[in-house]
Amino acid sequence: MGASTRKTAVVSNEELEKQKQFSQRVASVISVKYDEKPKACVVTYGCQQNVADSEKIKGMLEVMGYDFTDNRLEAKLIIFNTCAVREHAEDRVFGNVGMLKSYKRENTDVIIALCGCMMQQSHIAQKIKMSYPFVDLVFGTHVIHCLPELLYRTLTGRKRIFEIPDMDGAIAEGIPVKRDDDAKAWLPIMYGCNNFCSYCIVPYVRGRERSREKADVINEFKELVAQGYKEITLLGQNVNSYGKDLMPCVSFAELLRELSSLDGDFRIRFMTSHPKDCTKELIETMASCDKVAQHLHLPFQSGSNRVLRAMNRHYTREQYLELITYAKKLMGDELSITSDIIVGFPGETYDDFKETLSLVEAVKATSLFTFIYSPRKGTPAAEMDDPIPAEEKSKWFKQLTDLQEKISASQMALHKDKVYKCYVYGKGKLGDNYVAARNDGNLIIEFEGDENLIGTFQSIRVIEPLTFVMRGEIVKEKKL
């Protein structure tokens, strides 16, 4: 694992070994405690990083002897893996946890656990401690690998456990993963964030940026390909700064080139990129590596330079547009662009917002993820004056989504007669003999074809763009 050559902390082999022993102890405890294999229900909120963490949680639980269910009311262990990025996500968690109160009263042997970004905030952990006494276990983002020990202590002790160390974070390799899908896989290449965008809670709850060793990433990638995974998404809050903390340094573009030169039939995706670190080299790499999806998720957040400065984003709209223009020049119509936008940042005026609208017009994204600003305790933006009323922000928001709807529709029309490399993932809905496939930009194209094409990549020509899907035809069947 190269622990001696890196600047960031790595969880030691002794610690990982200790957790394996706790895992066996949990297995013994639950085999005595329950008549049949107990079920665990893991509920995930938020981003793909959380989805990937939940897959590790499930991997560890499987080794400890748990089965799984989506029905909370038949589980002996309920874990909520929470998100802190907006208030709405937090409210949902409090609502859903609250609903378990009477269930726990009647089923005292059920364990309720909370983890993830929300729990890493001290005021939230405090609220759980005081107002949700039926929650047994709370653990933060930095100790997921300690789940066997924490669960053992919960199962065998009588005290509630709150394990939320305030630290920069470390990397734990070799944790078992139980993946949700058998064709699409999430592969975290780095953790944490150093950017401190002024509205964002992530750097406070996920710690500093730390990259996994390139060899560890490549090994996991090869295993995924050998297991038959076809679409592998590299994850990080800011993948463009991957490898800056490794010794020797590695660039993200370099990693992409190495992965795409591996043998096998697969497609690489990645997210998220930060415009301030997105290099021309990365765009050139995307354009030249045929196994890298021509999809760039590049959040710009606002089109106003004044707001971008207040957000601490370190780029201008002109620089952003230059990147997009370069990417479009190299990848043409094949390229799909998606972005994140925040409406109603503190102090944003209608003129600022109009700058966002004009950037949206210029970018012509396939789709946008749009959010109304949500104040996050402890971030600089939460202290800024925010005079625009919520109703006004909602109006702006609607204006933005209406505009993007028009752009998305006109973008869909441009796909007619285009040929895309698509992954055929399942049966279609347009008719009995249709199968469904996804192109680089995650657009769904259905075509008449045999079910044995499912699990392969095919070239598909778009015949008719419909509203949410496109009808197409196979160009030339490619057998695996």
Residues that bind ligand 5AD (CB under 6 A): 85-86, 199-200, 299, 301, 340, 342, 371, 373-374, 376
Residue type at 372 in one-letter notation: I
Q: Choose among ligand 5AD, ligand SF4, none what residue 56 binds, the Cβ cut-off being 5 to 8 Å by kind.
A: none
- Near ligand SF4 by CB under 6 A, which window of 70-78, 128-136, 163-171, 197-205? 197-205
Closest CB to ligand SF4 among 96 and 194? 194
Q: How far apart are CA 249 and CA 260, in angstroms?
A: 19
Q: Choose among ligand SF4, ligand 5AD, none what residue 422 binds, the Cβ cut-off being 5 to 8 Å by kind.
A: none
Cα distance from N-terminal residue to C-terminal residue, the chain: 34
Q: How far apart are CA 406 and CA 265, in angstroms?
A: 35
Closest CB to ligand SF4 among 23 and 379? 379
Is residue 200 involved in binding ligand SF4 (CB under 6 A)?
yes
Is residue 474 involved in binding ligand SF4 (CB under 6 A)?
no
Choose which of 120, 237, 240, 241 interacts with ligand SF4 (CB under 6 A).
237
Closest CB to ligand 5AD among 338 and 458? 338
- Near ligand SF4 by CB under 6 A, which window of 67-75, 195-203, 370-378, 438-446? 195-203
Q: Choose among ligand SF4, ligand 5AD, none what residue 465 binds, the Cβ cut-off being 5 to 8 Å by kind.
A: none
Tell me how far, at minimum, the Cβ of 166 lies from ligand SF4, in Å: 18
Is residue 341 involved in binding ligand SF4 (CB under 6 A)?
no
Tell me how far, at minimum, the Cβ of 310 lies from ligand 5AD, in Å: 13
Q: Choose among ligand SF4, ligand 5AD, none what residue 371 binds, the Cβ cut-off being 5 to 8 Å by kind.
A: ligand 5AD
Q: Choose among ligand 5AD, ligand SF4, none what residue 237 binds, the Cβ cut-off being 5 to 8 Å by kind.
A: ligand SF4
Dihedral sign for Cα atoms in the order 449, 450, 454, 459: negative
Between residue 253 and residue 282, which ones bind ligand SF4 under the rule CB under 6 A?
274
Q: Choose among ligand 5AD, ligand SF4, none what residue 193 binds, the Cβ cut-off being 5 to 8 Å by kind.
A: ligand SF4
Is residue 310 involved in binding ligand SF4 (CB under 6 A)?
no
Is residue 338 involved in binding ligand SF4 (CB under 6 A)?
no
Tell me how far, at minimum, the Cβ of 85 lies from ligand SF4, in Å: 8
Tell me how far, at minimum, the Cβ of 285 lies from ligand 5AD, in Å: 23
Q: How far apart are CA 159 and CA 135, in angstroms?
A: 11
Residue type at 453 in one-letter notation: L
Closest CB to ligand 5AD among 320 and 423? 320
The token pair at 18 is 């200790």
336-343 vs 295-297, strand pairing mode = parallel
Tell me how far, at minimum, the Cβ of 265 lies from ligand 5AD, in Å: 31
Q: How many CB atoms lie within 10 A of CB 9?
A: 16
Tell me how far, at minimum, the Cβ of 196 lies from ligand 5AD, in Å: 12
The token pair at 376 is 């996050």
Between residue 155 and residue 194, which ones bind ligand SF4 under the rule CB under 6 A?
193
Closest CB to ligand 5AD among 191 and 457? 191
Closest CB to ligand SF4 among 34 and 371? 371
State the residues that interact with ligand SF4 by CB under 6 A.
193, 195-197, 200, 202-203, 237-238, 274
